[in-house]
Amino acid sequence: MPPLRLLTTGLQHVAAMYAGVVAPPLIIGAAVGLPVSELTFLTGASLFLAGVATLLQTLGVWRIGARLPFVNGVTFASVAPMLAIEKSEGPKDALPVIFGACMVAAALGFVLAPYFGKLVRFFPPVVTGSVITLIGVSLMPVAFNWAQGGDAQAPGYGSAENLAMAGLTLVVVLLLRRFTRGFVKQIAVLLGLVVGTLVAIPVGITDFGALRDAGIVGFPVPFHFGAPQFAAAAVVSMCIVMLVSMTESTADMLALGEIVDRPADEKTIAAGLRADTLGSFLSPFFNGFLATAFAQNIGLVAMTKIRSRFVVAAGGGILILMGLCPVAAALIATVPQPVLGGAGVVLFGSVAASGIRTLARADLGDDSNIVIVAVSLAVGVIPVAAPGFYDVFPAGARIILDSGISTGCVTAVVLNLLFHHLGRRTPSGGPAPENTAAAETARE
């Protein structure tokens, strides 16, 4: 695309995932008692590494990178175990221990990446459709939380003003999508965020404090919080998180491959997981955490129909600049959470709609497929519908169980094996994604 369009569409991706990138370092930084200046540093490091990981994923180097419009950032799955590490190690040593555990987990993930790629034949449309739908459904609570204000403990959470701003942003996005064409229609989400932020100023929910306190230039100095330390329990917990993240990234790649009409095959998944894990390995050197795919940006690709990986690469470049320029990062931070929530309803709903479209390609006249979809969706929405459902399980198990995407994905794969592979020569669950693409090409 021309430079201006490349910049604005890339910025739209950054705006869609910014809150997800900065939330984990803010949570962990607050837990270990970092002052405001150090908290800003930790957040900038996460932005910088998210940009590096995104460039690895979109542009690729050798056999590293899926070369899809795929955004990477800090995974929310790592927040709970990192908080547990802080409790066991204490605030002083928490970050070095977390960084050491992340490095070991990322190295393990890099070694296992090719084996995860071989699982693609077990993801026919009945499985991928269920998982993609779950991704969208699992993200909806995030949008609703943003719409209410983002922080349940803050005054005004769930107020009429917050809900009105979310509704206004949603309406602006919908009107732009309905009554405009071309480039304006494609950046409807970004324009909705701008309009929502401007309207929020007189309402009084736009905070410019981060912009006033931010410096002009900053760089994530390696090992700023100390050399990495290696504790066995921390390493084990982060390795579990890495396996969960790889499962979710595999599902996300399958989802994105369907959306851009380039189904992710075994090599693509392996290359994408190598980019995830390499980014995660480099991240602790610059004071960052485990990196993984951001599902919300898949919804943006689905809605805008802009499939160019160079647009997302431009977003990765913007993330790097934001990490090096705290003022730029703080500018995005002025977007109020309710405004993000209004846009998030469209983005995350688009992911679920893509999953339903994929399910339409499966043979839902087969009772076995109905059972696979029904049970995998039911299991996957447990963390959303009943957040305390798994509280009786050990903390290590809850890392996996509390991820509806992971549990739903595993359930769908296992049931597909049970109904369509074990004891049968020809699976009837529908062709694998790569075979589907080949069949469609043959029919054309």
The residue among 84 and 114 whose pLDDT is bigger is 114
What one-character DSSP code corresponds to residue 72?
E
pLDDT band at residue 443 using 50, 70 and 90 as cut-offs? very low
Helix, coil or strand: residue 270? helix
The Cβ of residue 175 has, within 10 Å, a number of other Cβ atoms equal to: 12
Q: Are the C-beta atoms of residues 316 and 322 closer than 8 Å to each other?
A: no
How far apart are alpha carbons 250 and 264 in whole angstroms? 9
What are the phi and psi torsion angles at 209 (to 5°)?
Answer: -60, -40
The residue among 410 and 330 whose pLDDT is bigger is 410
Q: Within 13 Å, how many C-alpha atoms sit on residue 226's CB side?
A: 12
Alpha carbon of residue 380 to chain centroid: 17
How far apart are alpha carbons 165 and 171 in whole angstroms? 10
How long is the chain? 444
How far apart are alpha carbons 256 and 251 in whole angstroms? 9
Helix, coil or strand: residue 71? coil
pLDDT band at residue 415 using 50, 70 and 90 as cut-offs? very high
Angle at Cα 76 formed by Cα 413 and Cα 72, nearest 5°?
Answer: 80
Amino acid at 291: A
How far apart are alpha carbons 337 and 385 in whole angstroms? 22
Which contacts qualify for 189-192: CB closer than 8 Å, 24 or more apart? 189/12, 189/15, 189/16, 189/300, 189/303, 189/304, 189/343, 189/346, 189/347, 190/8, 190/9, 190/11, 190/12, 190/15, 192/339, 192/342, 192/343
Using left for φ > 0, alpha for ψ between -120 and 50, and beta otherwise, residue 218 falls in beta
Q: What is the pLDDT of residues 206-255, one digit of tens each?
A: 777 667 766 777 777 888 888 898 888 788 878 877 887 787 788 788 88
CA end-to-end span of the chain, whole Å? 29
Look up the domain containing 120 and give its range: 3-443
For residue 425, pLDDT over 70 is answered with no
Alpha carbon of residue 258 to chain centroid: 17
Q: Report the mean per-residue pLDDT for the chain.
A: 82
Q: What is the pLDDT of residues 137-173, one digit of tens each?
A: 887 888 898 899 887 888 889 999 999 999 999 999 9
Q: What is the pLDDT of residues 73-83, one digit of tens each?
A: 887 767 767 87
For residue 182, pLDDT over 90 is answered with no
For residue 86, pLDDT over 50 is answered with yes
For residue 327, pLDDT over 70 is answered with yes
pTM of whole model > 0.75?
Answer: no
Q: What is the pLDDT of residues 92-139, one digit of tens each?
A: 788 999 999 999 999 999 998 988 877 767 778 898 888 888 878 887
How far apart are alpha carbons 145 and 143 in whole angstroms? 5
Which of 100, 76, 117, 65 shows the shortest CA–CA distance to 276? 65
pLDDT band at residue 329 using 50, 70 and 90 as cut-offs? low
Sort strands 72-74 and 291-293 into parallel, antiparallel or unpaired.
antiparallel
The residue among 183 and 46 whose pLDDT is bigger is 46
> How many separate domains does the chain show?
1
- Quote the pLDDT of residue 52: 92
Amino acid at 66: A
